[in-house]
Amino acid sequence: MKILLTGATGYIGKRLLPILLSRGHEVVCCVRDRNRFPTDGIYAHDRISLLEVDFLKPLPSSEIIKDIDAAYYLIHSMSAGTGDFAEMEAASAHNFLKLVEPTSVKQIIYLTGITNEEELSKHLSSRQNVEEILGKSSVPLTALKAGIIVGSGSASFEIMRDLVEKLPVMITPKWVTTKSQPIAIRNVLEYLEGVLLREDTFNRAFDIGGPDVLTYKEMMLQFADVRGFKRKIITVPVMTPRLSSYWLYFVTSTSYKLAINLVDSMKVEVIAKDNDLEKMLGIKSIPYKEAVALAFQKIEQNSVISSWKDSLASSYSDNSLLEHINVPTDGCFKDYREKKITGDPDTVLKNIWAIGGKRGWYYGSRLWKIRGFMDKMVGGVGLRRGRTHPYHINTGDTLDFWRVLAADEKNRRLLLYAEMKLPGEAWLEFKITERNGEHFLQQTATFRPHGLAGRLYWYTVLPFHFFVFEGMAGNLVKFIDKDLEEKTKYPEQNL
């Protein structure tokens, strides 16, 4: 059958796509920017087609998808801000219906949150509103209402990981005593695939959760137990929502706007109501500690398919890659380095593709860390996002405080755009070229200043550029990792 998948480059969408393909379905992936969609591995499948659409802007013709059988609605805007995401989510839902209702679609499947409390957070109220909008459509709706999703790369998992691994003793707000019912990402995907075109799930909503009901404090302590850590958590009643948000922002890799919405939601109990869906689909719920252990298996195997950090919402400003893909030339400062490659150019290419994250930036690691800390202090993303995979890069991925605009292995080119807070815009480009039978690494840093502040910034950091960029280019052409050939084999696209 033919499936429309919205949120195809998001955390859930990237993991659901391989499952749908393995079942023989044809998938139309909705993306805001086709440049962010990977083009290698399973994403080069002949049963994948792309539909570029922003549900907050004018829509393409429904003729393109007139023969779809089912549609997954996996769009949300929790990270988009602190005040307008509810309006954005409602507008997106209405526009989604305008796109799919004229087609042959027989079912809409919507992944949302559990909303059983009388007083809901702004985020959960918005999700409930979207469910009501979709439910008024002529197309049957199946709503799956999940608690906290536990899986490698999920926002809640990575935040929990940051807290547990960095803080032996935690002074926490009182919301850590709120109860929740976490669910393993594997179970979420089983539910999403299992309800597909099952008529006994049409026009119904199901709460989905794991077998454990836990407080956030219990989740963190059990997380620590899985990791072999001893942690102490002290709860205080005096931490305001704003202080709680700052606490999450500075300790974890989350953005401040997401931290605010998370804190708002963490005050609400998220416990599933009993239903028969688990039995209907023959799903075996995975306990919380087992879900954490499974997530770390994927991390250790470098098999993390998707991460919330690669969402544009993890940036301090949510920009389309298309706005920055063309590096400007006029009114810019540039730092250009060229190094002759005396060894194997493929080795240098692999060095480039491994840059950032745990590998670092090949020179001045302490200076990069200081720059990341400074960025975090002024509300930027800092270095904590790292990278999803240590040796593979796709367009749209994050690399510390950079975003990948182009990752073209065939033409040996990597282009990054800075998402740190700057009085201007910055690009960093790596290319391997050939002249007269010799290979060269070309490394170009481009900065387009905004006013006088931007020009003062450039001249202030110029002395550091000489050492950092010169050292980085030099080490990229010299660095040898004997195990890199084996490590750069593509991981299996599984859960």
Q: Is residue 37 part of a domain?
A: yes
* Same domain flag for 243 and 319: no
Hey, what amino acid is at 374? M
Cα–Cα distance, 214 to 237 (Å, whole number): 20
> Token pair for residue 371?
């720059």
* Same domain flag for 357 and 247: no
* Same domain flag for 299 and 327: no
Q: What string of pLDDT tens digits covers the 495 residues of the chain?
A: 999 999 888 888 888 999 999 999 999 999 887 777 777 667 778 899 999 898 888 888 888 899 999 999 998 764 444 456 788 889 999 999 999 999 999 999 999 999 888 777 787 888 899 999 999 999 999 999 998 899 887 777 878 888 888 888 888 877 788 899 999 999 999 999 999 999 999 999 999 999 999 998 999 999 999 989 899 988 887 666 667 666 666 667 666 666 666 666 677 888 999 999 999 999 999 999 999 998 888 776 555 555 555 555 545 455 555 556 778 888 899 999 999 999 999 999 999 999 998 888 999 888 888 888 888 777 777 777 778 778 888 887 888 889 888 888 889 999 999 988 899 999 999 999 999 999 999 999 999 898 899 999 999 999 888 899 999 999 999 988 766 555 544 443 333
Within 10 A of 379 (CB to CB), how many other CB atoms are there?
A: 13
Q: Is residue 494 part of a domain?
A: no
* Same domain flag for 18 and 53: yes
Q: Which residue has the tokens 């931007």?
A: 454
Domain that holds residue 344: 315-487
Q: Is residue 112 part of a domain?
A: yes
* Same domain flag for 214 and 197: yes
How many residues make up the chain in this entry? 495
* Same domain flag for 280 and 319: no
Q: Which residue has the tokens 């991981």?
A: 491
Q: Is residue 413 part of a domain?
A: yes
* Same domain flag for 84 and 63: yes
Q: What is the CATH number of the domain that holds 173?
A: 3.40.50.720
**Which residues in 449-477 are b (16+ Cβ under 10 Å) and which e?**
beeeebeebbeeeeeeeeebbebbbbebb
* Same domain flag for 69 and 156: yes
> Token pair for residue 363?
């020179």
Q: Is residue 321 part of a domain?
A: yes
What per-residue confidence (pLDDT) applies to 337?
Answer: 95
What per-residue confidence (pLDDT) applies to 81?
Answer: 47
Indicate the residue among 289, 308, 327 that finishes a domain: 308
Q: Is residue 376 part of a domain?
A: yes
* Same domain flag for 448 and 382: yes
> Token pair for residue 149?
């999703």
Q: What is the CATH number of the domain that holds 389?
A: 3.30.530.20
Domain count for the chain, please give it.
2
> Token pair for residue 417?
């755009």
Indicate the residue among 308, 328, 359 that finishes a domain: 308
Task: Tell me if the pTM is above 0.75.
Answer: no
**Which residues in 6-38 are b (16+ Cβ under 10 Å) and which e?**
bbbbbbbbbbbbbbbbeeebbbbbbbbbebbbb
Indicate the residue among 308, 337, 360 that finishes a domain: 308
Task: Tell which residue, 104, 125, 95, 132, has the closest CA to residue 6.
Answer: 95
* Same domain flag for 244 and 320: no
* Same domain flag for 267 and 388: no
What per-residue confidence (pLDDT) applies to 80?
Answer: 47
Task: Tell which residue, 349, 228, 385, 203, has the closest CA to residue 293.
Answer: 228
What per-residue confidence (pLDDT) applies to 254?
Answer: 66
**Which residues in 168-180 are b (16+ Cβ under 10 Å) and which e?**
eebebbebbebeb
Cα–Cα distance, 56 to 150 (Å, whole number): 29
Cα 111-117-120 angle, rounded to 5 deg: 75
* Same domain flag for 295 and 330: no
Q: Is residue 495 part of a domain?
A: no
Cα–Cα distance, 75 to 5 (Å, whole number): 10
What per-residue confidence (pLDDT) applies to 320?
Answer: 54
Q: Is residue 492 part of a domain?
A: no
